[in-house]
Amino acid sequence: MSEVQAQEIADAANVIVGGYAMSRDGSNTRIVNLNTGHVAICSETAKILETSMDDIEMTIALDRFRANRQFIEE
């Protein structure tokens, strides 16, 4: 991912925590690692629906999501 793409994703995000940009995608949340460009889509119940992340990165992303989901706008 280029620096310009990362900036565009960051600008559109509702919340950025620890390098993970989170934004609403319908009823789900899209989580993008701004360092790698890997993406995860998770449900409101923090279940991963789709991902390009490995297991460790996905665990970190879910932890960040769970701790900050109240700040993600509807």
Question: Which tokens sit at 13?
Answer: 């995000």
> What is d(CA 67, CA 7) in angstroms, rounded to the nearest whole number?
23
Domain ranges of the chain: 3-71
State pTM to two decimals.
0.89
31 versus 4: which is more confidently predicted? 31
Check residue 72 and give its pLDDT. 85
Query: Confidence class of residue 6 from pLDDT cuts 50, 70 and 90?
Result: confident
Find the mean pLDDT for residues 7-33: 93
- Strand 39-42 versus strand 48-51 pairing type: antiparallel
Higher pLDDT, 72 or 38: 38
Percent with pLDDT over 90 in the chain: 74
Q: Please tell me the distance from the alpha carbon of residue 50 to that of residue 30, in angstroms, as a whole number.
A: 10
